[in-house]
Structure 1
Amino acid sequence: MQGFLRQQSSKAASSVLLALLLSAIAPAHAQSIQTIEQNFQTPSNAARPMVRWWWFGLAVEKPEILRELQQMKADGMQGAELAFEYPQVLDDPAKGLKNLPFLSPEFLDDVRYAQEEGRKLGLRIDVTLGSGWPYGGSNTTLAEAAGRLRVAEVPVPAGATSATEPQMEEGDSLISFAIADSKPLPPETHPRSRGHLAQPHPADFDPATARPFTLTNRTAVVSPSDHPRVALFFIASHTRQQVKRAAVGAEGYVLDPFSHQAVATHLEKVGEPLVKAFGNTPPYAIFSDSLEAYGADWTPDLPAEFQKQNGYDLIPHLPELVAGGTPEAERVRHDWGKTLTELINENYLNQINHWAIEHNTKFRSQTYGEPAVSFSSQNLVALAEGEGPQWRQFSTLRWATSANHVFGHTVTSGETFTWLHSPVFRATPLDMKSEADVDFLTGENQIMCHGWPYSPPDHKVPEPGWSLYAAAALNDHNPWHPVMPDVTRYIARISYLLRQGEPANQVAILLPTDDAWASFSPGHVTVTGAMQRLITPALMSTILSSGYNADFIDADAINSVGLGTHQILVLPPTDRIPVDTLNKIAAWVKAGGKVIAIGHVPTIDAEGKPLDASTTAFIPVVPDTSALPQALWNAAKPDLQIDFGQTNPMAVTEQDQVGYIRRKLPNADIYFVANTGNSPVGFLGTFSTTHKYVSQWNPDDGTASSPATLVLNNRITTSLAPYGSAIFVFSDEPAKPTPSHIKTGHSIDLSTNWKVNFTGLHQIETEPTLTDWTQDPATLHYSGEAIYSRDVTLAPNQTHATIEIEGGKPLPGAPNSAPEHPALLPNGLPNPLITRPGPGMHAYYDPPVHEAAIVYINGQRAGALWHPPYSLDIHKFLKPGKNHIEIHVYNTALNAWSALPPHDYKPLIAKYGDRFQMQDLDKVKPIPSGILGKILLTTGASQ
């Protein structure tokens, strides 16, 4: 499109500097498998997870800032993104609690201190360029606030010759006015002034009859008519949306993202002070959260920009735009939507990205939501980020990973754990793995943990301290925090591997962006919102279950960079397609690509003009998604064909819970395979690779857990534990295996006679049998560590052994992501078959240890148990004779939290307003804790 091309040319002046900035995330040249394996064992800092570090109030103190940075470093975090949120406490001088106003000198000095100390520790420091979200606040005036088109409808009875102009709100301006014939209304509908979330659908006026009238002294002068009519007043108004979750002093309007001046003001008044606080070491990146400027669909420059882009005047077509329902109206809405996208591209994304380059940093942006950004908009920022573990339906995480795959960027960050196992502090390491693995399958390779709550030191507030109103709380107020380094090593190893080589997703799904624009209506201008409807869960699940992985792509991307290494292009039911895109696809097919349309081929071009049938004759069509698997197979063999066996009654469910992603190197193929379900699976996998040898790598300890062996017909028999994962590396070099493997032998039951030391209570008990902590009133509300200890005597031939805690089991209610059970029904309501409400997730699994443990053998740390299978190879630490075993067990903070009286937020609300609502407080109750499975020591010989 012309606007998009203009944006590209406007970037030319900064292209060299941008290329230098992006070099840090450019694909590395080919490395040997041995080098990759060495780096896998000890991945670089750049592959480690980040945390979003919430500063509340802003009531922070330098000693605690330093302590938390040091803890992040010890936990294996790459760094922190500074995020500034709502107050949690009233000023309390006696306790040293004081809310520092946003952008005050004291606050900026704390920012300076945090980034300086973080740099000394080798941590990456990013900063959110504002407080709360979206951008805006106290420096955003009403004139620069997010705008909306408001339509006031004034009834004009039959025979009337006048109507009074409606009351204008502060900041409103009249765009135009017209009178139109009324349509009969349903009984429950009445004429009204439209709110920004309402839309006149079905229209209660006929836009084809709309005519201008004379407005004199705020009175519409009209000729009489023998039937009722409606006087329409089109008003440039404002959403008046306030910044969400703002810190003290950061309150105010959400800015107009379509306005160059509104964004420039924010960069000057907010961005400059924040980045200046970093001195000579600018932040690694500045961050913009998901676009949530709800209802923003107008800006003062829109009519002029619309005329420039589309060659006709929008104003006379406002009745059609508002009413919809006709091909002519869809064309106007399409052109209006496209213009809004170009405005936000130029004035928000491009402007902030250029500003970031000028300030020697990068723009990390969640480029989705509301309003109007498109898939290709993500190429206008240095670092495109996504979120959401909706692996088998449309997700903004796949939106971002796909854009980076298509446009050649190696690293895709993702806001991860946003809604993990509510309420806060309920999430466990296993929950983290269950979501992280789904995100890896989608293509994410930079985990941004959401998040780390700053909390005051020295017990100034009751444990477990401060937290965001929702999301996982991943700081060291969580009792299970000692295993966090094990979790971050797992994340870092897989993140590292998923940056090697090139993406190898076979299928590209063409996003019907032009259809999305044509479906826009006042108050509803979101491309990603439309894709929730246009890219169905059935489509996504069918492709994935057929053995393929997929990227999204849009017409602009096909026009600018092509379809890359994708082998198959799938067109979901699509009406509109640009002619030049259709020509590009035809040329790609002629060169060997395969295309499949579902339901029907496009019938009109982007402007709504009919396409000649001959231009789409080359596109084969399948009637619906049920016919898609065979069509995909006919087009190209899948990268990973999974066979669960004909007699397995759970085959369909298992097919839906196992996924993979592949990275293709010049000298190897890397497959990450994950079981996203809560039951074990076994299958025969046929991998589409040309390499002869395969080894399996262990992301828990960084070793090759199986020797590199010759693989026959690329077929491997695999079993995965609940929420288990595996890494297969195919190459032409047989690697040297290093680990020792235990051949199963005799099992010794160690489930009795443990001494249990509740370290936080200074209480030591002897448990003849393993017991749930919550069964004893003395430990019902205990959150913390308990050390289980005992001795075991082994003969010389028993020292090659593993220790395992058996007994985990699936929990009912796990989401079924199969096509026949989408999370949402066609009417948009939650499917009653799906028990998981909202966007969050967790592991539906009752583990044998609640929630994590660290095993020590003869005083040496042998490893952590935090996900199935709860098993460790401990042969290196055992000796003939007496061996001392300690299992340090950690639960969640919920048990101690449940003993506290409910917090009274009324004084806080009285002073600062109701800025947040803690979620699921009714679920703050004691949950099972301790070792509840059978402890087995399995001895044998190494193999």
Structure 2
Amino acid sequence: MSLLAVISAEGQVKKADSPWPLVQQQMRPWTRWWWMGNAVDEKNLASALSAYAAAGIGGVEITPIYGAKGFEDRYIDFLSPRWMSMLSFTVNKAKALGMGVDMNTGTGWPFGGPQITPQFAASKLVLQRYLIPKGESLKESITIKDEKQRKAGAVLQAVTAYAADGQVFSLFDKVDAKGQLQWTAPASDVEIYAIFSGRTLQQVKRAAPSGEGYTLDHLDKASVDVYLERFDQAFKGKSPGVRSFFNDSYEVYGANWTPTFLKAFKQLKGYDLSTHIRALTGKDSTSTEAGRLKSDYRETMSKLLLENFTQNWTSWAHRYKSLTKNQSHGSPGNLLDLYATVDIPETETFGSSHFDIPGVRRDSADIRNVDPDPVMSKFASSAAHTTGKTLVSSETFTWLTEHFKTSFSQAKPEAEQLFLSGINHIFYHGTTFSPAEIPFPGWLFYASTNMVPANSLWPQLKGMDDYFTRCQSLLQSGRSDNELLIYWPVYDAWSNPKGMDMPMKVHDVDVWLYPSEFYRQSLKLAGLGYSFDFASDHMLAGARAEKGLLVTSPKASPYQTLIIPAAKLMPLKTLEDILALARNGATVIFQQFPEDVPGLADLEKNRSAFKSLIAGLDLKSLSAGVKGTAYGSGQILLAKEIQKALAFKKLDGEKLTETGLKFIRRKLTNGKYYFLVNHTAKTIDEYIPLNSSSPLVTLLDPLSGDYGRAQTQTKEGKTWVKVHLQPGETFFLQTGSSPIIRKPWTYLAKPAETLVLDDHWDLHFTQGGPVLPADKHLDKLISWTKLNDSLATSFSGTGAYTRTFTMPRQLQGEYLLNLGKVDESAHVWINGKDAGIIWSIPFQARIGKFLRPGQNTIRIEVANLMANRIRYMDQKGIPWRNYHEINFVNINYKPFDASAWEPMPSGLLGPVKITGYH
């Protein structure tokens, strides 16, 4: 290690004179790396990885998928010796470049393949109904009618008769080997429900060569073991050297059963599910009893998925000295427990969000059914925080916009919203491997933002990558610093009487998340400046009270208070665990007491004990809107408005949110990091209060890497920090600063004269296509598409703007360059010196150190989107997409065609201004 570096108290390597950690690979953004047809080779792999590393990407996540037509002779079978050789080469080359490698434990998604025979394939309950008049017998045999299910080996598992007079008969043992029911109906008509363990017959989506086959049964350990055995054979007992194995979101459609479900249900719930088949399969029921039954069913499914797949797969990965990275959303289970089981929980963003930042483009055609939701993202980060895990990742920018129209300035606030939710390890969605000889735009994946070297923005990607790297270097430091732990009442959702299984999808949060008081209170508390994580019933069972705080893991930061939002249903065991925490010293705030226990198992016994515990709480009025009682060495409070109980306990949110700023904190050994984000439409220029008292505060700018000692005041024991944040800007504050930063931060508070550079620009196109337009002299700044030049209208690439300008003899203390409107990213040189990449709103940078009195030169290289060149290619009928499987689709999953697009504005539109500051 260099003598100029030190190990911080947080275990990170830092330069001795800088508050920024030295960059490690996990701090950089990583990318999902599609191998189309596995048509990879060492030369092109080495070239691609080198390009990614140069752009600031820290690692790749290999996901093999279908291939391009015409290149079948290059395809490599998944997990074959040749494929393993390519993987080994990739791991070694990446290591030499300082990069990491993750690997999908499969191809496409979800897990499955040729080793999954129908015996081990994803299962579903198949129902057949029969009617028997009173006193008669069933004439037909009870055998599977669906020919596909018969071939797949569907097995009869239960036969239950429901008589018109209310009697229920279990008849499975009265069906002979030929399916004949040896039974006569009683003195009332009877409806027979026969269930078979069938198969969904779902195939792996977007499979790569030798990855095709049935999706596996995630609920069955034997099926998972058979699936993983193929990898064991390919690895031959040796670690493949990947950092982490990856599993995409759970998209196993209709998989609501497994052959052992009845047995597992009986073991968990103590009663026979087969006698309740009519209620279980009733899709439009509104009865409370059906909801209770389905809650028990969904809880059983959650347990099977957790134990037989997630824990099983993670244990398998650890045997190869690798981690697991899992997207639990979409699973029919408790998301918090599923996320918490793996080493790196991963969420995803799908679609675009609305931001009030002036100038952020959001095309109405790009808007999905629901926006990416920070509360949804907090399920993954909460699982990491409560278990003390450092990394929380995200599949980032999936379908952020239509193809070829995604700008860096649109990506930035989406990523910041993830950071604010506790995500600190983003993966681009994504990058497609493409051999060098494939012409523009190379091989591409249909749902990606196309972070590929062929992208016309690629020469300036490092600007965004460096920003994300600086953010993540601090967001991976220390521990999360959230004061509240909020219980997630999953049983309220599980008790919905409609349907059977309940996949909790990112795209369906308006169904299972938005209607809950849990969601509404989370938003309200965040708006009041509180920081929090979510906890499951299982997490509360493992928590303990220690010195008045809640401890969920030895590696996790403790919480000051447990919040129980209004919930109708709560298991008796969970209530007992909550009261035990209070008894041992914790503070618990109920918005209201839950009404009842969920499920049918031991209902009356559990209900009686539950109500007795609630009735035993002798609450008294403590303040306006707050009731409570001492409970053991802790306290239980009841407040319809949770913030009133928090105020009673003198637990204040961060008042800085009253300005419109959003934040997240990280706890350091000596101090904290605050990440401040201005996603409002206004400039915030004032002192803001912090819920801490620190003699020193360092301000760190992740966009430029600059830093300095902040101006502070002390009021009533709290530190107030001077901030100046324009819309779209972010800063980190470090309290209790170490090392001590003596250089003061330069606030741009007093503008002086402004120099406007709107005319007399020379424009030279440097790289791109289809053809480089001729040089231009611009009397005013306008879009390339307005130059009355068809070559410029169709051009995607980089154009360099140059001119000279004169500065006064006496320079100010600092100067700010504002480029105005940029379509889409700019790299600036002043007097031949690199002044940085200006790639996001508000498109400005400090340039005082580059200026000199008198004549100066400025060169601005502007990169536009790929859209105009793709539009040209589609108009001319130039082929560029020809893939197997789904081929290439637009954001609405229709065949892609850009020929009717309007040209996207391109270039430097200004006004360009240089403003001095005293």
When the two structures are superposed, what TM-score results if normalisation uses the length of structure 1? 0.81
- What is the DSSP-based 3-state SS (H/G/I as helix, E as strand, rest coil) of the residue aligned with 2:156? strand
Provide the C-alpha distance between the structure 1 equivalents of 2:72 and 2:161, rounded to a whole number of angstroms.
Answer: 60
Instruction: Please name the residue that 1:21 is paired with.
Output: none
Tell whether the 8 Å contact from 1:707 to 1:736 is kept in structure 2 after alignment. Answer: no
Q: Which amino acid counterpart does residue 765 of structure 1 have in structure 2?
A: K
Residues 1:33 and 1:370: Cα distance change in structure 2 (over 3 Å): closer
Task: Determine whether 1:75 maps to 2:68.
Answer: no
Once the two structures are overlaid, the 10-residue window that deviates more, 448-457 or 311-320, is 311-320
Instruction: Please name the residue that 2:663 is paired with.
Output: 660
Provide the C-alpha distance between the structure 2 equivalents of 1:907 and 1:116, rounded to a whole number of angstroms.
Answer: 32
Q: Which amino acid counterpart does residue 764 of structure 2 have in structure 1?
A: N
* Matched ranges for 1:317-716 at <5 A: 317-323=276-282, 326=287, 328-388=289-349, 393=373, 395-421=375-401, 423-458=402-437, 460-461=438-439, 463-519=440-496, 523-526=500-503, 530-531=512-513, 533-534=515-516, 537-562=519-544, 563-564=550-551, 565-590=558-583, 593-598=586-591, 600-604=593-597, 607=601, 608=603, 609-610=606-607, 611-615=610-614, 617=617, 627-642=641-656, 655=660, 658-677=661-680, 680-681=683-684, 685-707=688-710, 709-712=712-715, 713-716=718-721
Instruction: Please name the residue that 1:309 is paired with.
Output: 268
1:675 positional shift: 2.4
1:416 positional shift: 1.5
- What is the DSSP-based 3-state SS (H/G/I as helix, E as strand, rest coil) of the residue aligned with 2:662? strand
Instruction: Please give the per-residue CA displacement for 1:15-36, whole angstroms capped at 9, x wherever unaligned.
Output: xxxxxxxxxxxx9844799869
Provide the C-alpha distance between the structure 1 equivalents of 2:613 and 2:265, rounded to a whole number of angstroms.
Answer: 32
Tell whether the 8 Å contact from 1:772 to 1:931 is kept in structure 2 after alignment. Answer: yes
* Matched ranges for 1:21-420 at <5 A: 29-30=9-10, 38=18, 40=20, 42-91=22-71, 98-156=74-132, 161-162=137-138, 164=140, 165=142, 167-168=145-146, 169=149, 170=151, 171-181=153-163, 209=168, 212=171, 214-215=174-175, 217-220=178-181, 223=184, 229-270=190-231, 272-273=233-234, 275=235, 282-323=241-282, 326=287, 328-388=289-349, 393=373, 395-420=375-400
1:778 positional shift: 2.9
Residues 1:621 and 1:251: Cα distance change in structure 2 (over 3 Å): farther
Provide the C-alpha distance between the structure 2 equivalents of 1:288 and 1:32, rounded to a whole number of angstroms.
Answer: 29
Residues 1:48 and 1:618: Cα distance change in structure 2 (over 3 Å): farther
Provide the C-alpha distance between the structure 2 equivalents of 1:600 and 1:900, rounded to a whole number of angstroms.
Answer: 63
Residues 1:319 and 1:101: Cα distance change in structure 2 (over 3 Å): same
Instruction: Please name the residue that 2:785 is paired with.
Output: 774
Residues 1:179 and 1:588: Cα distance change in structure 2 (over 3 Å): closer
Residues 1:537 and 1:467: Cα distance change in structure 2 (over 3 Å): farther
Instruction: Please name the residue that 1:865 is paired with.
Output: 838
1:891 positional shift: 0.7
Provide the C-alpha distance between the structure 2 equivalents of 1:32 and 1:344, rounded to a whole number of angstroms.
Answer: 36
Instruction: Please give the per-residue CA displacement for 1:526-551, whole angstroms capped at 9, x wherever unaligned.
Output: 35674455466533321211111221
Tell whether the 8 Å contact from 1:505 to 1:551 is kept in structure 2 after alignment. Answer: yes
Tell whether the 8 Å contact from 2:824 to 2:864 is kept in structure 1 after alignment. Answer: yes
Task: Give the alignment's Cα RMSD to 1 decimal.
Answer: 3.4
Provide the C-alpha distance between the structure 2 equivalents of 1:532 and 1:243, rounded to a whole number of angstroms.
Answer: 31
Q: Which amino acid counterpart does residue 534 of structure 2 have in structure 1?
A: F
1:419 positional shift: 2.5
Task: Determine whether 1:737 maps to 2:711.
Answer: no
Residues 1:212 and 1:360: Cα distance change in structure 2 (over 3 Å): same
Instruction: Please name the residue that 2:360 is paired with.
Output: none
1:922 positional shift: 5.6
Q: Which amino acid counterpart does residue 256 of structure 1 have in structure 2?
A: D
Instruction: Please give the per-residue CA displacement for 1:40-91, whole angstroms capped at 9, x wherever unaligned.
Output: 2643333111111111122233322111100111111111111111223233
Provide the C-alpha distance between the structure 1 equivalents of 2:880 and 2:838, rounded to a whole number of angstroms.
Answer: 42
Instruction: Please name the residue that 2:726 is paired with.
Output: 721
Provide the C-alpha distance between the structure 2 equivalents of 1:916 and 1:519, rounded to a whole number of angstroms.
Answer: 38
Tell whether the 8 Å contact from 2:340 to 2:383 is kept in structure 1 after alignment. Answer: yes
1:270 positional shift: 3.6
- What is the DSSP-based 3-state SS (H/G/I as helix, E as strand, rest coil) of the residue aligned with 2:105? strand
Instruction: Please give the per-residue CA displacement for 1:299-351, whole angstroms capped at 9, x wherever unaligned.
Output: 12222223333333332333333346555544443333333222222221222
1:267 positional shift: 1.1
Tell whether the 8 Å contact from 2:157 to 2:196 is kept in structure 1 after alignment. Answer: yes
Q: Which amino acid counterpart does residue 108 of structure 1 have in structure 2?
A: M
Provide the C-alpha distance between the structure 1 equivalents of 2:827 and 2:732, rounded to a whole number of angstroms.
Answer: 24
Provide the C-alpha distance between the structure 2 equivalents of 1:922 and 1:536, rounded to a whole number of angstroms.
Answer: 43
Instruction: Please give the per-residue CA displacement for 1:108-146, whole angstroms capped at 9, x wherever unaligned.
Output: 332222222112212111111110111101221111001
Q: Which amino acid counterpart does residue 98 of structure 2 have in structure 1?
A: G
Task: Determine whether 1:875 maps to 2:848.
Answer: yes
Provide the C-alpha distance between the structure 2 equivalents of 1:932 and 1:582, rounded to a whole number of angstroms.
Answer: 61
Q: Which amino acid counterpart does residue 315 of structure 2 have in structure 1?
A: H
Tell whether the 8 Å contact from 2:431 to 2:452 is kept in structure 1 after alignment. Answer: yes
Instruction: Please give the per-residue CA displacement for 1:445-494, whole angstroms capped at 9, x wherever unaligned.
Output: 11112111112322x24x22222211311122221222222212211111
Provide the C-alpha distance between the structure 2 equivalents of 1:681 and 1:398, rounded to a whole number of angstroms.
Answer: 26
1:288 positional shift: 1.2
Provide the C-alpha distance between the structure 2 equivalents of 1:259 and 1:690, rounded to a whole number of angstroms.
Answer: 54
Tell whether the 8 Å contact from 2:265 to 2:300 is kept in structure 1 after alignment. Answer: yes
Task: Determine whether 1:933 maps to 2:913.
Answer: no
- What is the DSSP-based 3-state SS (H/G/I as helix, E as strand, rest coil) of the residue aligned with 1:404? helix
Once the two structures are overlaid, the 10-residue window that deviates more, 387-396 or 684-693, is 387-396
- What is the DSSP-based 3-state SS (H/G/I as helix, E as strand, rest coil) of the residue aligned with 1:360? coil
- What is the DSSP-based 3-state SS (H/G/I as helix, E as strand, rest coil) of the residue aligned with 2:792? coil
Q: Which amino acid counterpart does residue 362 of structure 1 have in structure 2?
A: L
Provide the C-alpha distance between the structure 2 equivalents of 1:396 and 1:37, rounded to a whole number of angstroms.
Answer: 39
Instruction: Please name the residue that 1:843 is paired with.
Output: none
1:919 positional shift: 2.8
Tell whether the 8 Å contact from 2:26 to 2:58 is kept in structure 1 after alignment. Answer: yes
Instruction: Please name the residue that 1:194 is paired with.
Output: none
Paired-residue identity, %: 26
Residues 1:913 and 1:425: Cα distance change in structure 2 (over 3 Å): closer
Instruction: Please name the residue that 2:753 is paired with.
Output: 746
- What is the DSSP-based 3-state SS (H/G/I as helix, E as strand, rest coil) of the residue aligned with 2:751? coil
Residues 1:276 and 1:635: Cα distance change in structure 2 (over 3 Å): farther
Instruction: Please give the per-residue CA displacement for 1:484-526, whole angstroms capped at 9, x wherever unaligned.
Output: 2221221111112122222111222211133444447764233
Residues 1:801 and 1:701: Cα distance change in structure 2 (over 3 Å): same
**5+ long unaligned stretches in structure 1:** 1-26, 183-205, 645-653, 808-847
- What is the DSSP-based 3-state SS (H/G/I as helix, E as strand, rest coil) of the residue aligned with 1:778? helix
Residues 1:442 and 1:174: Cα distance change in structure 2 (over 3 Å): same
1:794 positional shift: 2.3
Residues 1:506 and 1:54: Cα distance change in structure 2 (over 3 Å): same
Tell whether the 8 Å contact from 2:589 to 2:639 is kept in structure 1 after alignment. Answer: no
Once the two structures are overlaid, the 10-residue window that deviates more, 446-455 or 887-896, is 446-455
1:780 positional shift: 0.9
Provide the C-alpha distance between the structure 2 equivalents of 1:325 and 1:739, rounded to a whole number of angstroms.
Answer: 62
